[in-house]
Amino acid sequence: MGKRIFLFVLTNIAIVTTLSIVLSLLGVAGYINLDGSLNLGALAVFCLIYGMGASFISLQLSRWTAKRALGVQLVNGQTGNADLDWLYSTVEKLARQANLPKTPEVGFYESPEVNAFATGPTKSRSLVAVSSGLFRAMNRSEVEAVLAHEVSHVANGDMVTMTLLQGVVNAFVMFFARVVGHIVRQTMDSRYAHLVAFLVTIVLQIALGVLGMLIVSAFSRRREFRADAGGGALAGRANMAAALRRLQSTVDRVDDAAPALASFKISGRPGWMELFSSHPPLEKRIAALQATEAN
């Protein structure tokens, strides 16, 4: 746990430092004019760079972060371990079927959870990894379907589109929270203006961020249906449905150690509200596959 916290802190320090340097080079160190008025143009650039920049830097670091946060061990098809060599060759085959420009890095991590994930900044710089728990709980046709689902995420460019959406949401949240905070500062007694404006900005950023999560989560759920369909096309709809049924009995074993990867896994822990869940209920995903097969 200490290593994961250290990696999280280190990553965030690197992101903040990089963005601060970029803002300074662009001359957008601040967005308050000398007369106290708000420079909306500078504020928009500030929020866009921080909102989009933080998301894209996180995406660029996603493979590195995932490997270290979960202890992912890469395989190359020549380990001498039958299961791991089969894992690599299966991802390699699925990548060719999906017309990926390059086979993703392939790995596994020790965890009782029955899960897998895909991440990476581009189709040619991606990572597909599975948990040891998945190997123990599923047969090979089901594992192949899970891998096909993850390869479909890569082929669909889901990591980039999720990053773009999150970046836009971040930018809007930061912008509107600061505009309202500035209006409050202008209308308050100068003795309390800065403190109250700061609190209003923070509260609004949290509240708007929660609303933004609804948009991001809705897109994530839609993306899962699409990856299920892609997985079914690559590995067979019956195998994809069988893998999802297997996941229904193992959702209690989802590992929350790396929450940043939650939306990139094949299965997620049910949220306290479906609207905030990154994954649709498994029964809905199975029904969608069956409906597609019937058509």
Q: Which residues are catalytic?
A: 150
Largest CA distance in the chain: 73
271: nearest Cα among 223, 221, 233: 221
Please name the residue that has the structure tokens 């609190």: 199
The first and second tokens of residue 199, run together, are 């609190």
* 153-168 per-residue burial string, b: 16 or more CB within 10 A, e: under 16: bbbbebbeebbebbbb
The first and second tokens of residue 100, run together, are 């990926």
The identity of residue 238, as a single letter, is: A
User: Are residues 204 and 184 in contact, defined by beta-carbon separation less than 8 angstroms?
Assistant: no
Rounded-to-integer distance, Cα 56 and Cα 195, Å: 32
Rounded-to-integer distance, Cα 204 and Cα 45, Å: 19
The identity of residue 53, as a single letter, is: G
Please name the residue that has the structure tokens 């790396």: 258
Cα→Cα distances 75→12, 41, 104, 129, Å: 29, 48, 11, 10
Which residues are 74's β-sheet partners? 107
Rounded-to-integer distance, Cα 149 and Cα 247, Å: 13
Q: Which helix (H) or strand (E) holds 107?
A: strand 105-109
User: Are residues 77 and 85 in contact, defined by beta-carbon separation less than 8 angstroms?
Assistant: yes
